[in-house]
Amino acid sequence: MRLLPAAVTLSLAVALAYYVYVPMPDAIQEPWKLMLMDAGFRATMQLASVKAWLGIDHYIGSIRRSTAGFEGMMEGLLGPEQGGGVMPGVKVSDITFAGVPVRVYEPPAGGEGHLRRGLMFIHGGGWALGTGKRGSYDTIGRMLSDELNTVVVSVEYRLYPEVHFPVPYLDCLAAAKHFLSPEVRARYAIDPERVAVSGDSAGGNLAAAVAQEISTDETMSAKFSVQALIYPVLQALDFNTPSYLQNQNIPILHRPLMVHFWLQYLGADLSLLSQALANNHSALENSNITPELRARLDWTALLPPKHKRDHKPLIPKKGFQGTWKEVPGLLDVRASPLLAGPEVLAKCPRAYVLTCEHDVLRDEGLMYARRLQDAGVSVTSDHYEDGFHGCLSFITWPLEFDVGKRALRGYLDWLQDNL
């Protein structure tokens, strides 16, 4: 009988190890830490799905509460100063810009008459999760303001399931226009020639789309001088790029999860997931996707050989187009900035595009950098061979990774030199 507890313990340990273990590329440092973090995220999502099935809670709401609870616990244990959470002299205000909630970080006041940089930051989270007011986003906002003597505006745009496309984009655009207005620039002593828009993941998507719109709006007296995009989401037509296939099971953004986020954002039926994974939504019979449009995300022409490898494009001849006609945002450049024409890209501000080798979104970031360069825009491509999606957010204990710290430092240094 004494063997029974030991057998149960062993069985549980084996089951836990099986759940946690995910094959990792050799380049990723501290793979077990990433596996454990990913397992925790998957468990949170699965528990949220069970709650939703039981009618207890909406699964997104459940995930938000779990995430907020974890961040609150860590802040309680470590204090907000851990990892630079508090910067002496940085003033933080929660206000609204054109009706959109924002958090403003102001550096210590400079000398009379001295203008400062400005930066609008848009957080990621699949257009459904996240806030700029907690965790690493708050830390990064404070660091940007302190190190770069910058007025940072973090946008709290509305999220799914309360809204879907184009509402998050419109929120960010409204906040951007307000930020760039003469009145606001004068209030915060911002140099109109030194204003950036930046964001990571879904926030990078919104930042790129807003940069395109502002750059072509002739009514704007001031425009963004730079755009800094961190592993941005840029297109929803091809979920079989080399990076989507190569990294489909790499934490923390698995391929089905990214497609799920897209379906939510576009207001599509979530049962279309398997069709989208097979690229049925972008089949050749879809006459709305012209050859010119397909060329704008043709990775066979836009990616370097090292990333194409031996992959072949997946473009089905026939799909189930009737259902996809109910998703008008699919071809909207405000949702998929990679689809913008060269005449739009040519007007965009100089760019910084950070990509990670082990990220499903790697290729669209590389393609966007290439298309901006082809349109005559100055671009800095910052690629991390040991990087994974979201790494720049993991900069404080216990969820700190060296690649995240290096990526954050590279991002800050580029802004220091280019903004």
What's the Cα-to-Cα distance from 134 to each of 65, 69, 205, rounded to whole Å? 13, 11, 21
**DSSP 3-state assignment of 300?**
helix
What's the Cα-to-Cα distance from 276 to each of 88, 161, 236, 329, rounded to whole Å? 48, 20, 9, 14
Specify the DSSP class assigned to residue 349.
P
Whether 178 is catalytic: no
Specify the DSSP class assigned to residue 329.
G
Whether 389 is catalytic: yes
DSSP 70-138: HHHHHHHHH-TTTTS---TT-EEEEEEETTEEEEEEEPPP-STT--EEEEEEE--STTTS--TTSHHHH
Strand-pair category, 379-388 with 350-358? parallel
Cα separation of 49 and 319, whole Å? 29
- Least Cα distance to 155 among 216, 117, 204, 89 occurs for 204
Contact 185, 129 (CB under 8 A): no
Could you say which of 62, 136, 154, 201 is catalytic? 201
Could you say which of 146, 171, 200, 359 is catalytic? 359
Could you say which of 307, 311, 358, 389 is catalytic? 389
Cα separation of 375 and 60, whole Å? 39
Contact 225, 362 (CB under 8 A): no
Beta carbons within 8 Å of 393's beta carbon, 6+ residues apart: 135, 136, 137, 200, 404
Beta carbons within 8 Å of 260's beta carbon, 6+ residues apart: 270, 273
Whether 123 is catalytic: no
219: number of Cβ within 10 Å: 5
Residues with active-site annotation: 201, 359, 389
